Amino acid sequence: MKPIRVMVVDDSAFMRKMIGDILHSDSRLQVAGTARNGQDALDKLPKLDIDVITMDIEMPVLDGISTLKRIMEKQAVPVVMLSSLTTRGADSTMEAMDIGAVDFIAKPSGSISLDINNVKDEIIDKVIHAAGVKVNDTTTRQLATRALPPRPIELPKKQSLKKIVAIGTSTGGPKALHEVLTRLPGNFPAPIVIVQHMPPNFTRSLANRLDSLSELHIKEAENGEVLQNGTAYIAPGGFHLRVRQIGRALAAHVTEEAPIKGHRPSVDILFESLANQTLCQTVSVVMTGMGADGAAGVIQMKKADSNAVVIAESQNSSVVYGMPQAAVKTGYVDLVKDLGDISNVLIDQFLANGGINYGNE
């Protein structure tokens, strides 16, 4: 099988060498070129047959964000960004994801990370998955869905059944969340709880960015806060998010327990906590991402309440179909929908009295 040809773009010769060695350690990957800054990468790219680019964000001459914009405009190649764990790095990474980067990797200890081998497996996995992404198709779908404004909801005078929406996602999730959340109205009649696999700082940047673009209020979840309609709560990076029933209200419970199957936050933890509450009907969504996080939680939710609604993103629109596919394989998924349809499907659930609204099936 032909190896995946990778270009490594970083202003540090040390980091280029370390990342190159990590990629070379897997027979499926081949470093076909390196570049010391964005302009160097743009000059070399037309001369090389490149499948994936790994690119630092902070570089002299031409930074990663400016370079990414030009790559998306002229020669769309899947790009995996490398970023520092700083707030500035997180903000720039969210901008890169919005422009069209497939994924990102957080450098463990700053721009020159002597311990970059700590994320060796993550680098290899994300580069391999990125190679399978058709960037032009993803960008086209993204632009098409963004053109649509939020759909208004005419709320009934009395909601017959309280509901809560839970979303789990990973690789490709920032763009997917953007498409879903910005198309929901500010008076959305339920709280939304979200797990997006991300390290600390990045989830706060994601929440702030989405909040600035959405009619919903979007924030990082805080321990003990009561969940409100029209608000989306993103699990903080490095912490699990559970939902707890307190009397006639639901509250966020944020903990720093051990990771579950390598994840903290974990979609399974969030979904399983919702199986233990009896106040609201749960409408859950599993979107793009590597692995199977969320599948076990889907089973728990459906066993606890057969009226729980489970939606999976389709293979057609998923950047990576791992998590949605694992959910579908449980046999408990009610609806499989393209990303552009998910916001409408969520709204449609509030037109159903406790059952499942299949919309335009």
- Choose the catalytic residue: 197, 240, 268, 318: 197
Distance CA 186, CA 165 (A): 15
Residue position matching structure tokens 């990474």: 93
Name every residue whose Cβ is closer than 8 Å to that of residue 285 and which is 6 or more positions away in sequence: 165, 166, 167, 168, 180, 311, 312, 313, 342, 346
Smallest CA-to-CA distance from 34 within 22, 23, 20 is with: 20
Residue 170 annotated as catalytic: yes
**First and final CA of the chain: distance in angstroms?**
40
In contact, 97 and 175? CB cutoff 8 Å:
yes
Q: How many CB atoms lie within 10 A of CB 80?
A: 24
| Distance between CA atoms of residues 201 and 199, nearest Å | 7
By residue count, the chain amounts to 361
Are 242 and 255 in contact by the 8 Å Cβ rule? The answer is yes
Which one is catalytic: 40, 268, 293, 341?
A: 293
- Taking the CA atoms of 18, 77, 38 and 5 in sequence, report the sign of the dihedral they define: positive
Question: Which among 170, 205, 214, 317 is annotated as catalytic?
Answer: 170
**Cα–Cα distance between 7 and 50 in angstroms, integer?**
7
Who contacts 131 (Cβ-Cβ below 8 Å, separation ≥6)? 4, 51, 52, 78
Q: Are strands 240-246 and 249-255 parallel, antiparallel or unpaired?
A: antiparallel
State how far the Cα of 31 lies from the Cα of 204, in Å rounded to an integer: 33
Active-site residue set:
170, 197, 293
